């Protein structure tokens, strides 16, 4: 059996509680307070879930994605389209396979590497 205690609230808050009775379809101040507490608890649970989703998304991005920037992405997609590759990942597979199997490197490519990467 639960016991109830009287709660004193200022007149301004009493007016707001009366308005919330309609919003929550509550008959008593007690029901309004119960529903406010439940609303708060749901909000806190939602914040935790949202944070966990953001962390999972960040982890996924760290494991699965490479940031290349808008300009390089555009060039990369154009490269794949120019060779009619079937998916966005195919040009990368192609370039990695070429790099793995090519016994030499073109002089222009070497100059590019020296200019941009070293």
Q: How far is CA 116 from CA 77, 103, 104, 111, in A?
A: 21, 22, 19, 9
Q: What is the CA radius of gyration of the chain?
A: 31
Is 70 exceeded by the pLDDT of residue 1? Answer: no
What pLDDT shows up at residue 110?
A: 79
Confidence of residue 3 (pLDDT cuts 50, 70, 90): confident
Confidence of residue 115 (pLDDT cuts 50, 70, 90): confident
> Where does residue 25 fall: left (phi above 0), alpha (psi -120 to 50 degrees), or beta otherwise?
left
Is 80 exceeded by the pLDDT of residue 118? Answer: no
Beta-carbon contacts of 68 under 8 Å, excluding residues fewer than 6 positions away, are 76
Task: For residue range 8-66, list pLDDT tens digits in order.
Answer: 889 989 999 999 999 999 999 999 999 999 999 999 999 999 999 999 999 999 999 99
Q: Return the structure tokens found at 77.
A: 């997609």
What pLDDT shows up at residue 116?
A: 78
What pLDDT shows up at residue 26?
A: 94
Task: For residue range 75-98, list pLDDT tens digits in order.
Answer: 999 989 998 998 999 999 988 898
What pLDDT shows up at residue 71?
A: 93
What pLDDT shows up at residue 99?
A: 85
């Amino acid at each position: 059996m639960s016991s109830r205690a009287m709660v004193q609230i200022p007149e301004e808050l009493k007016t707001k509680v009366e308005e919330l009775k309609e919003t929550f379809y509550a008959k008593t101040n007690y029901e309004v307070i119960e529903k406010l507490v439940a609303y708060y608890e749901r909000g806190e649970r939602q914040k935790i879930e949202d944070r966990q989703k953001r962390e999972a998304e960040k982890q996924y991005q760290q494991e699965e994605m490479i940031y290349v920037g808008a300009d390089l992405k555009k060039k990369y997609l154009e490269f794949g389209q120019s060779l009619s590759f079937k998916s966005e990942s195919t040009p990368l597979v192609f370039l990695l396979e070429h790099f793995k199997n090519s016994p030499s490197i073109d002089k222009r490519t070497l100059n590019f590497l020296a200019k941009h990467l070293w």
